[in-house]
Structures are given as C-alpha cells and as structure tokens.
Amino acid sequence: MAGTARVATESTARDVPALHVVNLSKRFGGVAAVANLNLTVRRGITHCIIGPNGAGKSTFFDLVTNVQPATSGEVYFFGEPITGLPQYRRAALGIARKFQAPTLFPELTVAENLYMGKVGHLGWTSLLRRRDIPAADDQVGLMLEQLRLAGESGSRAADLSHGQQQWLEIGVALMARPRLLLLDEPTAGMSLRETAATADLLGALTGDTTTVIVEHDLSFVRRIADVITVMHRGESVAEGRPDEIAQNALVRDVYLGRKSL
Amino acid sequence: MTATVLTQIVNGLSLASILILIALGLAVIFGLLGVINLAHADLFMAGMYAVVLAQGVTGNFWFGVLAAPLIVGAIGFVVELGVVRWLRARPLDTLLATLGVGIVIREGVKLLFGAGYRQVANPLPGSIAIGPVAYPIYRLLLIAVTASILAGLAAWLYRTAPGLRLRAMLQDRETAAAYGIDPERASLVAFVVGAALAGLAGALMSPLVTVGPDVGIIYLARAFMVVVVGGVGSLLGLVGGGVIIGGGDTLAGYFLNPTIANAAVLVLAVVILRFRPGGLFR
C-alpha cells in the first residue's frame, strides 16, 4: 500500500506543470492586454506562443515575471502559487527571462555578463563566501564555447554584433540553470542565417530546460516548438503541436490572414 | 621654493584623499539609489565628533577612527530605512528630506556636544625630512590609508562576485532586479557603506581642522565637484576628480589666495562639464 501511494505521489509530482496560469488578466484602463488567460506549460518542453502584434504575448511574460502586476488571476510555478512574489524573488526561484530589448550590462565584459547570470540570484552572504573570480569560472568558459563567443570573452557587451548580443542574453539567462526560461522574440532583427543559427543554438543549449518562446517568425517556431499556443486579443484561441496548428482553419483565418503557415 | 611646492603637493593630496572618500559615498548612493544625499556633509561631520567622543572617553585617537565608520554607518542604516527608502521615487522630495536629515544631525550634535568648536589633538605631530623637505607625518599617513582603501576597493570591485554585482547595479538597477538582485537590500548596503566612508573621512580629517557642527558644508560642495568632474561610473574617475579638485584648491589657495582658489576650482569644474558632461574620465 505504502509503495503504491508513493508511486502515485511521484507521478503526480511529474505531472505538475512547470507553469500554470488561471484566469490571468491585465487591464490598462478599459483595455485588456491579457484577458482571462488559461495556459499550461508542461515541464521539459519548448512551448511557443504566437499571435499578432498586441495579442498580449509580451504582457503575459511581464505577468509571469511580475515586471507588471496582474489585475487578476493566479500564477503557479511547479505547483507553487507565486502570484504576489516580486520580480527578484521569482528570478531566485528559477524563472529566467530574455527581454525583447537587450538587457545586458553594456559596460561589463562578455564573461562578466555571463557570470552575473550565474551569481545574480545568489544572496549577499553566499557571495561573500565565494572565492572564485569571474574570469576563471568553468561554467562561464563552457558557455562561451557553446555561444561561439570564446574569442570575445574580454570585449564589452556593447561591442558585440546584434545577433551575438541576443545569443549572449540567452546564455546569461541559462547560466543560472533556470527551471523556466522565457525568451521574448529571440530572433528579432536577425538575418535569415542568424535565425537559423539561433534555432540550432537553442536546441543545443536548452536541453530539457522548460522554455517558453514568444516569436513572430513562423518557420523558426515550427523548427523548435513542441507545443504552440496562439494568442489573440489577450486570449488563447488555439493550442497544439506545430502540425496541428498549421492545419487549424481558425488560426489561419484569425491570425494569419489566410496566409499558409 | 621647490620645497614649498612639494609640501603643498602633500597638503593637496591629503585634501584630495578626504574628498575622494566623501565623493565615493556620494557617487555610490547616487549611482545606486538615484539620490543626491545632502546629509552627506553632516555624516562627515558626525565622524569628526565620533573621534571627539572616543578621544574624550578613552584618550585614544585611533579608537575614534575605528568607531567613526561604525557609528556613522549605523546613522546611515536608520536614515535609509526610516526616510530615504520611502521617498526614493521622488527626487525633489529626497533632496529636501536629506537636507532635513542633515539639519537634524547638526542640531543633534549641538545638543550633545554644544555649539562651540573642538580641537582634536594630532596623534602624529611632527614631520619626516626627506632631503631638504619636511613632510607632516599625519598627512602622509592619511594619503597612505586612502590609497590602501582605494586599492582594496578596486580589488573587491573588479575581482570578486559581490563587486561585480555592485558594478552591474550601478549600470542598470532594473536589469539587475531581473537577474535576481534584491534592489531594496542593495540600496541599504550602499547607503550604509557610503555613510561609513563619510564617517571615516571625517575621523581622519578631524586633527587637521577645527571641529564644529557646521564644518561639513564646505567639503560637501567640493566633494560634489569631485563626482561631477570624475563621473559616477568609475573609481579611477573619482580619484582623478579628487586630485584635480583637492590639489587645485590647495595649490591655488597657497599661491594665490583661498577665495580665488575656490572660485577657480568652480570655474574649472564648469569648464570640464561644458566639454565632458559625463565626467573627465569617460
């Protein structure tokens, strides 16, 4: 009996989604940017959110990270309610976000930015006990290799190309070994070649980190997504595997304006 | 003549050392909290009275130098938690509030110690003769102590994880919060450390001036000039700003006269700002 109960508990724990939002809303005056959104992200997958401009995708990220407070609704992170927690506490729990606009520290070096991703969420007391120095950190070195930025480790982040900065930000977000990675338009402003390289990079880097990506570029989304949610006017209007979404008539009408996916 | 110039250079560098210590606190508090702390001069003055108190009780100057950063740091702790934290989003209000805090500290000192002037005995009177020039020992020590503090601070800022975090926060407070840094905690640490540095500067300066409740004001203006000339972002900038303002003031004061020196340094700062608004060392 005891054994059965234990197995049941474990399977329940495995089924707890990485992120679960219930009736989440954000209103600006009379306008609802996010309206009664219900969304579940299973752990270990890459979940893409698509939708036209103004669909509420970035606002959704703001609510998950609490850059803006939700008007109403609940947010659960691995089953724990985190609705009222401030931004820095959520980061410490393991929610990492790459913003649409670059949020690197421009005057710090590439290696220092990565190191910030590793130690930023640690408390002051644990930092005082650390003896390692940023330049000689193994995890930083490995990430520099994976990002193909090893040669730029001492350059200021501001001196990197646009594409390199975007990759560095993804690397920074991953340095904290987050339990949930949120990427806001990781290919914005990239050339076709850079976009393709980003897809490869993400596949290799994220591994089984649960990743939620907001993106416009549909060919990119189809390459990397396990699940796609389509948002429209703050609501989720469709959800499924990439092939299901591609064949969904409603999605084609509402979102794509009859353009083929 | 050469001997006089060399002596004046030591005097200028010792003033520069004090200004750098005051400016460090101002710059960190401004950089991290966006608050211009007008109480800083009075925290500096409180450091001097910490020495007056310690010397009165124990008879030992150096005990006062140790006590000053602790006492003034504690004042900073109370001021940040009790006043600054609640007003930070409103720049004009923080300006007025810190001005008010300064008045409270000044009047508090008058209540405890009286409005009269005090003299702190120089713990190391006398000079060292190097060749034909006699250098005051205490001033040399002052320069050495400041240089060690700056070297330690530089190593901490550029070689350790907490130092890196501080540099990151100075660049962008909001982004730092996205990295998991508690901005409230960081603000408290910055304010306490800034206050403690002002207290230490006051303690070290106390044997060289007549100690009174209003002694801080003149140094506040100069320390602001150091921040303006050196820029908020860099330690090296503050050192450069300190040497230019402190050295310029002392040398011009000696060879011309103190009033012209004050004016000249002010003009210099305005000229530098005109051509390098971000500071001379950006």
Residue A8's pLDDT is what? 43
Q: Do A116 and B172 touch (CB under 8 A)?
A: no
Q: What does the pLDDT average to over B74-88?
A: 92
Instruction: Write down which residue in A177, A208, A240 finishes a domain.
Output: A177
Measured between CA atoms, how close is B163 to chain A, in angstroms? 10
Q: Are residues A78 and A188 in the same domain?
A: yes
Measured between CA atoms, how close is B153 to chain A, in angstroms? 14
- Would residue A129 count as lying in a domain? yes
Q: Are residues A186 and A80 in the same domain?
A: yes
Helix and strand numbers, DSSP H then E, in chain B: 13, 4
For the ranges A62-71, A95-104, A240-249, B247-256, the maximum mean pLDDT occurs at A62-71
Residue A12's pLDDT is what? 57
Report the DSSP beta bridge partners of residue A232.
Answer: A235
Residue B281: exposed, middle, or buried by beta-carbon count in 10 A (0-12, 13-18, 19+)?
A: middle
Average pLDDT over chain B, rounded to an integer: 87
Domain count, chain A: 2
Compute the distance between CA of residue B264 and CA of residue B247 in angstroms, rounded to an integer.
12
Q: Are residues A184 and A72 in the same domain?
A: yes
Question: CA neighbours within 13 Å on the CB side: how many for B225?
Answer: 27
CA distances from B237 to A16, B8, B19 (A): 53, 23, 13
Domain range for residue B92? Answer: 2-215
Token representation of residue B217: 């004001």
Token representation of residue A84: 């009222």
Lowest mean pLDDT among B112-116, B136-140, B224-228, B262-266: B262-266
A112 vs B contacts (CB less than 8 Å): 164, 167-168
| Residue A64 reports pLDDT greater than 50 | yes
Residue A203's pLDDT is what? 83
Q: What does the pLDDT average to over B88-112?
A: 91
Token representation of residue B183: 């901005």
| Residue B279 reports pLDDT greater than 90 | no
If we measure between CA atoms, which residue out of A41, A24, A37, A11 comes closest to residue A179? Answer: A41
Q: What is the DSSP string of B106-144?
A: HHHHHHHH-SS-EEPPPSS-SEEEETTEEEEHHHHHHHH
- Would residue A9 count as lying in a domain? no
B161 vs A contacts (CB less than 8 Å): 115, 119, 122, 127, 130, 132-134
**Which residues of chain A are at the B interface, by a Cβ-Cβ cutoff of 8 Å?**
65, 67, 87-88, 91-92, 97, 99, 103-108, 112, 115-117, 119-122, 124, 127-128, 130, 132-134, 172, 176
- Would residue A7 count as lying in a domain? no
Any chain A CB within 8 A of the CB of B233? Answer: yes
Q: Are residues A37 and A156 in the same domain?
A: no
Question: CA neighbours within 13 Å on the CB side: how many for A203?
Answer: 13
- Would residue A4 count as lying in a domain? no
Q: Are residues A69 and A81 in the same domain?
A: yes
Residue B168's pLDDT is what? 85
Residue A30's pLDDT is what? 82
Domain range for residue A207? Answer: 15-94+180-261
The answer to whether the beta carbons of residues A220 and A198 sit under 8 Å apart is yes
Q: What is the pTM of this model?
A: 0.75
Of A65, A104, A130, the CB nearest to B161: A130
Compute the distance between CA of residue B187 and CA of residue B224 in angstroms, rounded to an integer.
20
pLDDT digits (tens, 9 = 90+) for A171-194: 988 888 889 999 988 888 888 888
Measured between CA atoms, how close is A144 to chain B, in angstroms? 18
Domain count, chain B: 1
Q: Are residues A52 and A171 in the same domain?
A: no
A115 vs B contacts (CB less than 8 Å): 161, 164
Instruction: Write down which residue in A145, A177, A209 finishes a domain.
Output: A177
Question: CA neighbours within 13 Å on the CB side: how many for A13?
Answer: 6
Lowest mean pLDDT among A133-137, A254-258, B86-90, B250-254: A254-258
Residue B28's pLDDT is what? 85
Radius of gyration of chain B (CA): 19
Q: Are residues A185 and A259 in the same domain?
A: yes
| Residue A11 reports pLDDT greater than 50 | no
Q: Are residues A190 and A83 in the same domain?
A: yes
- Would residue A252 count as lying in a domain? yes
Select the more confidently predicted residue: B3 or A188: A188
Any chain A CB within 8 A of the CB of B236? Answer: no
Residue B53's pLDDT is what? 92
Q: Are residues A84 and A196 in the same domain?
A: yes
Q: Are residues A172 and A194 in the same domain?
A: no
pLDDT digits (tens, 9 = 90+) for B159-186: 888 788 888 888 888 788 777 778 888 8
Q: Give the B window 137-196 contacts with A, CB below 8 Å.
A: 159-162, 164-165, 167-168, 171-172, 175-183, 185, 189
Q: Do A105 and B168 touch (CB under 8 A)?
A: yes
The residue of chain B nearest to residue A113, with distances taken between CA atoms, is B168
User: One-letter amino acid identity for B91?
Assistant: P
Report the DSSP beta bridge partners of residue A184.
Answer: A214
Of A88, A106, A115, the CB nearest to B181: A88
- Would residue B252 count as lying in a domain? no
Report the DSSP beta bridge partners of residue A24.
Answer: A37
Tell me, what CATH number does A255's domain have?
A: 3.40.50.300
Q: Are residues A142 and A205 in the same domain?
A: no
Q: Do B179 and A121 touch (CB under 8 A)?
A: yes
A119 vs B contacts (CB less than 8 Å): 161, 164-165
What's the distance, Cα to Cα, between the start and end of chain A in Å?
51
- Would residue A202 count as lying in a domain? yes
State the ipTM, two decimals.
Answer: 0.70
For the ranges A221-225, B34-38, B75-79, B221-225, the maximum mean pLDDT occurs at B75-79
Of B171, B179, B189, the CB nearest to A120: B179
- Would residue B266 count as lying in a domain? no
Angle between helices B137-159 and B235-242 (to 10 degrees): 160
Task: Provide the 3-class DSSP secondary structure of residue A232.
Answer: strand
User: One-letter amino acid identity for B221?
Assistant: A
| Residue A55 reports pLDDT greater than 90 | no
Compute the distance between CA of residue B94 and CA of residue B81 in angstroms, rounded to an integer.
13
Q: Where are the beta strands (DSSP E) in chain A?
A: 19-28, 31-41, 46-50, 72-77, 80-81, 95-98, 180-184, 210-214, 227-232, 235-240
Q: Are residues A69 and A122 in the same domain?
A: no
Task: Provide the 3-class DSSP secondary structure of residue A260.
Answer: coil
Residue A2's pLDDT is what? 42
Instruction: Write down which residue in A177, A211, A236 finishes a domain.
Output: A177
* Angle at alpha carbon of residue B44, lines to B43 and B48, rounded to 5°: 110
pLDDT digits (tens, 9 = 90+) for B104-148: 999 999 999 988 898 888 888 888 887 778 888 999 999 999 999
Chain pair A-B, CB pairs under 8 angstroms: 76
